[in-house]
């Protein structure tokens, strides 16, 4: 009879022994009988197919905790040294493909999603879009083109709730390009270019960059996914247009808890994060000593 709490080899059923950790910090196990090694998947995380998943990460010391959650609860998480396509793969391969993914503009996520969930639609977080535009244009742009773009961004952030609203916004963006297209294509000659550097630059880089960002989001159909009627029929619930469920619902809570326990070692901080995330999974079990 197997003793409770021990782990056993899936091949030869021999008792496993700890064998260090992976690069992501996950404990590795080794079978002394058949010498196979691997990691142990959490038995308390469900293999359920989630129609909507929100992805984000939070850095804790030298590691990043990648988090996947539904609008209601945490689905999975993993520790990695940094955010990249290969590290996001480690989380995404553990979950069945959802219908819709809500994420920010982190390049690793945008590389990993099509690789692991090619059929999943992507909704880019409107709040992160706003932050990106604000960093480029500031809140007081000096050009008419910049002022109009900032106004379009504020309209987007406020919320466009129907397909018709989204189409009207796209029409306004096209009208902006017709009005200011020549303006953002103006060039300034660089009289002393460095070796390998081109001899000119775009005069109005930030309005041009902002417009190209919006144009790409519209082209890739990642800006108004939340209003797609076909997807709404699949998910049978509203599709979020921001990652606030993770940023505000989890990350800010974790930062507050870690601030209250500033003296913790990094390992203890990770355990706190894991316990908090586990507490908001779909069916967390009570702690061993709970009555």
pLDDT tens track for 30-69: 778 766 666 554 444 545 788 999 999 989 888 999 999 9
Compute how many other C-beta atoms are within 10 angstroms of the C-beta atom of residue 160: 21
Q: Which residue has the tokens 């144009």?
A: 215
What pLDDT digit, counting tens, does each position of 143-169 carry? 999 999 999 999 999 988 899 999 999
Same domain, 119 and 95: yes
200 occurs within a structural domain: yes
Q: Which residue has the tokens 């691997």?
A: 38
Boundaries of domain holding 13: 1-40
Report d(CA 33, CA 8) in Å as an integer.
Answer: 11
Same domain, 192 and 262: no
What is residue 26's predicted lDDT score, i.e. its pLDDT? 64
Same domain, 28 and 60: no
Same domain, 153 and 184: yes
| Residue 285 pLDDT level (bands cut at 50, 70, 90) | confident
Same domain, 256 and 120: yes
Q: What does the pLDDT average to over 218-239?
A: 93
Same domain, 24 and 166: no
Beta-strand pair 100-103/121-124: parallel
Q: What does the pLDDT average to over 232-254?
A: 85
Same domain, 109 and 250: yes
289 occurs within a structural domain: no
Q: Which of 148, 144, 147, 153 is nearest to 124 (CA)?
A: 153
Those residues with Cβ within 8 angstroms of residue 227's Cβ, 6 or more apart along the chain or in another chain = 160, 161, 162, 163, 165, 166
152 occurs within a structural domain: yes
137 occurs within a structural domain: yes
Same domain, 115 and 142: no
What pLDDT digit, counting tens, does each position of 170-198 carry? 999 999 999 999 999 999 998 888 888 88
Same domain, 249 and 111: yes
Phi, psi (degrees; rounded to nearest 5) at 234: -75, -45
The domain spanning residue 103 has which CATH number?
3.30.420.10
Higher-scoring residue by pLDDT: 79, 38:
79
Phi, psi (degrees; rounded to nearest 5) at 58: -135, 130
Same domain, 207 and 155: yes
288 occurs within a structural domain: no
**Structure pTM?**
0.78
């Amino acid at each position: 009879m197997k003793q409770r709490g021990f782990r056993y080899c899936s091949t030869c059923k021999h008792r496993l022994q700890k064998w260090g950790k992976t690069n992501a910090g996950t404990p590795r196990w080794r079978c002394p009988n058949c010498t196979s090694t691997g990691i142990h998947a959490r038995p308390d995380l469900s293999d359920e197919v989630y129609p909507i998943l929100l992805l984000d990460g939070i850095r804790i010391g030298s590691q990043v905790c990648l988090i996947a959650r539904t609008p209601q609860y945490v689905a999975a998480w993993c520790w990695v040294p940094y955010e990249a396509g290969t590290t996001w793969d480690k989380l995404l391969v553990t979950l069945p493909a959802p219908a819709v993914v809500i994420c920010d503009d982190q390049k690793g996520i945008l590389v990993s999603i099509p690789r692991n969930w090619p059929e999943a639609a992507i909704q880019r977080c409107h709040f992160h879009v706003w932050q990106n535009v604000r960093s480029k244009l500031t809140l007081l742009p000096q050009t008419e083109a910049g002022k109009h773009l900032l106004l379009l961004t504020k309209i987007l952030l406020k919320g466009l709730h129907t397909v018709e609203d989204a189409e009207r916004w796209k029409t306004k963006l096209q009208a902006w390009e017709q009005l200011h297209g020549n303006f953002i294509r103006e060039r300034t000659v660089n009289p002393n270019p460095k070796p390998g550097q081109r001899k000119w630059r775009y005069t109005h880089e930030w309005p041009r960059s902002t417009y190209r960002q919006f144009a790409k989001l519209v082209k890739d159909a990642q800006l108004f996914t939340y209003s797609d009627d076909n997807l709404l029929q699949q998910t049978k619930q509203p599709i979020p247009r921001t990652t606030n469920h993770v940023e505000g619902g989890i990350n800010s809570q974790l930062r507050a808890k870690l601030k209250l326990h500033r003296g913790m070692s990094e390992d203890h901080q990770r355990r706190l994060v894991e316990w908090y995330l586990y507490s908001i999974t779909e069916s967390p079990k009570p702690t061993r000593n709970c009555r």
